[in-house]
Amino acid sequence: MSVRILYFASLRERLGKREEILDLPEGLGTVEELIVWLASEGREALREVPSLRFAVNQEMARASDPVLDGDEVAFFPPVTGG
Amino acid sequence: MPVRVQLEDFDLSAEVAALRAADPRIGAVAAFIGLVREVNAGSQVSGMFLEHYPGMTEKALMAIIAEARARWALFDALVIHRVGPLRPTDPIVLVAVTSAHRGEAFAACEFIMDALKTRAPFWKREETPAGHRWVDARAGDAEAAARWSGESDPGPKA
């Protein structure tokens, strides 16, 4: 399956990219599993952001939430607006 | 559209006038403006850059306004948040709400701001003498937002 991955703020800078579309291996079903796989594929910075936050299809998500074909998954540090 | 994310500055008077629209039911307007400070976390800040997540940011702000409207008797609510390069003294954010009485207006305005600080996807990068740094989330912001969960008192009535 294919998902669109977005990175923001310090994570975007550390990875040197703001988005990528990736074909995920079989059996990858949750945000947590996606993070483990991405970290093993050269995106270790995901593991180094304190209190990493994520959103699936533009809604805040939990690590156990599912990732499905065509989803937009975003990773970012805690928000600091206002 | 009660939510705007924009590069440009905003005009408080014009925004409040549009929000009121001469509606005679309105007895209270509460507005908050957040500004860029010249000192943060012990460092001189010469400028900052605000990044957001187009699409999700607007949705998150709309959801926060919907929660405020479900909780307090508001006539209207507005959030304008700037992005891009900003300098000390620049306005960053405007929250304005209208209601019949001040209690609802004050409470809803503060709630929207507290929720925005912890739930709306914006990130600040500051320019300091030591180079640029991404601002860390403050524990106090999470505590301020948590105050509103489980609390049902809408505040004093005008």
Q: What interface predicted TM-score (ipTM) does this complex get?
A: 0.95
What b/e string do you get for B114-130 counting C-beta neighbours within 10 Å, with b at 16 or more? bbbbbbbbbbbbbbbee
Per-residue confidence (pLDDT) for residue B157, from 0 to 100: 44
Please state, in angstroms and rounded to a whole number, the distance separating the CA atoms of residues A24 and A5.
11
Shortest Cα distance from A22 to chain B (angstroms)? 20
pTM of the model: 0.92
Mean pLDDT along residues A14-33: 96
Mean pLDDT along residues B15-28: 96
CA distances from A2 to A80, B53, B54, B120 (A): 30, 21, 21, 27
Give the number of other CB atoms < 10 A from CB of residue B32: 17
Given CB atoms, is A48 within the 8 Å cutoff of chain B?
Answer: no
Given CB atoms, is A55 within the 8 Å cutoff of chain B?
Answer: yes
Give the number of other CB atoms < 10 A from CB of residue B37: 12
Q: Contacts of residue B118 in chain A, CB cutoff 8 Å? A: 79
DSSP state of B98: E
Span between the terminal Cα atoms of chain A, in Å: 37
Shortest Cα distance from A67 to chain B (angstroms)? 17
Residue from A6, A18, A79 whose CB has the most chain B CBs within 10 Å, to mutate:
A79
Shortest Cα distance from B128 to chain A (angstroms)? 16
In the three-class reduction of DSSP (H, G, I as helix; E, B as strand; rest coil), residue A82 is classed as: coil
Shortest Cα distance from B24 to chain A (angstroms)? 31
Statement: residue B150 has pLDDT above 90: no
Given CB atoms, is B52 within the 8 Å cutoff of chain A?
Answer: yes
| pLDDT, tens digit, 9 for 90 and up, residues B44-90 | 999 999 999 999 999 999 999 999 999 999 999 999 999 999 999 99
Contact between A74 and B56 using a beta-carbon 8 Å cutoff: yes
The rounded Cα B148 to chain-centroid distance in angstroms is: 15
| Percentage of the residues of chain B whose pLDDT score is greater than 90 | 87
Which residues 77-116 on chain B approach chain A with CB closer than 8 angstroms? 81, 92-93, 113, 116
Report the chain A residue with the minimal C-alpha distance to residue B34.
Answer: A82
Contact between B123 and A51 using a beta-carbon 8 Å cutoff: no
Exposure of A72 in the CB half-sphere (CA atoms within 13 A): 12
Statement: residue A37 has pLDDT above 90: yes
Q: Contacts of residue A45 in chain B, CB cutoff 8 Å? A: none
